[in-house]
Amino acid sequence: MPITKADIKFIKQLHQKKYRKQYGVFIVEGWKSILDFIKADYLPQTIFATKQPENVSVPFKIEPVTAKQLKQISALKHPKDALAVFKIRSKASLPSSGLILALDDLQDPGNLGTIIRTADWFGVRQIVCSENTVDCYNPKVVQATMGALANISVIYTNLEAFLKQINLPVYGTFLKGENIYQSNLAVDAVIVIGNEGNGIKPEIAALTSHRLHIPKAPGALAESLNASVATAIVLSEFFRKNG
């Protein structure tokens, strides 16, 4: 059945958080990412595509669309070959062990997407976000994860309350602290990453048990690191020492 005006209106609504929350679904674009979500047992409600994926059999109905129609529903400036609507999974329980990322009010979709992708690379399976952190189902976030969101549990909660009850060391990244390259890093721990412009809020910083600092080269003029870059460095060092 060809795509309808109602389909187009519905999918364009899903570009906004309130409608994703209302309907309990989100969009994924591009066959590679769509297949990653299917492989992770996410259930697609609808798949629209200009072509079939190469060398892969998809066990779900695919609705054919033209490139012009795909552009109408896409959140991308340059749409890919397919768009799928997936059901959002039920909220998982808060983690209590393992290596956990905690994100304190991150706002940039690209940063969150890159952090999720980086976490997947280093084997982190649990990310706890403050309630004001950008929605992980934002199309820009989903796109930036390159399918990695399918492998990660992302939970939104009161971050301060979570850190107060967790029985693990809590590491935070700060402009002043212990040199991360000279620090002992626990296998099971929480790593807090702060907001892009303001860093970690004082009430969250007060709950950290270890303040980590990524030293810069002598003479370097940059005042700080991008949040996703800092996350990659920190996770790499945890992995190097404990992996």
Would you write out the chain's pLDDT as a tens digit for each of its 243 residues? Answer: 578 999 999 999 999 999 999 999 999 999 999 999 999 999 999 999 999 998 888 989 999 999 999 999 999 999 989 999 999 999 889 999 999 999 999 999 999 999 999 999 999 999 999 999 999 999 999 999 999 999 999 999 999 999 999 999 999 999 889 999 999 999 999 999 999 989 999 999 999 999 999 999 998 888 889 999 999 999 999 999 987
Flag whether the pTM goes above 0.85: yes
Q: Which option is the CATH number for 99-242: 1.10.10.10, 1.10.730.10, 3.30.540.10, 3.40.1280.10?
A: 3.40.1280.10
Fold of 5-87: 60s Ribosomal Protein L30; Chain: A; (3.30.1330)
* Token pair in block for residue 135: 């929605």
Q: Output the CA torsion 159→160→166→169 (10° steps).
A: 100
Whether the CA torsion 16, 21, 25, 29 is positive or negative: it is positive
The structural domains of the chain, with segments of one domain joined by +, span: 5-87, 99-242
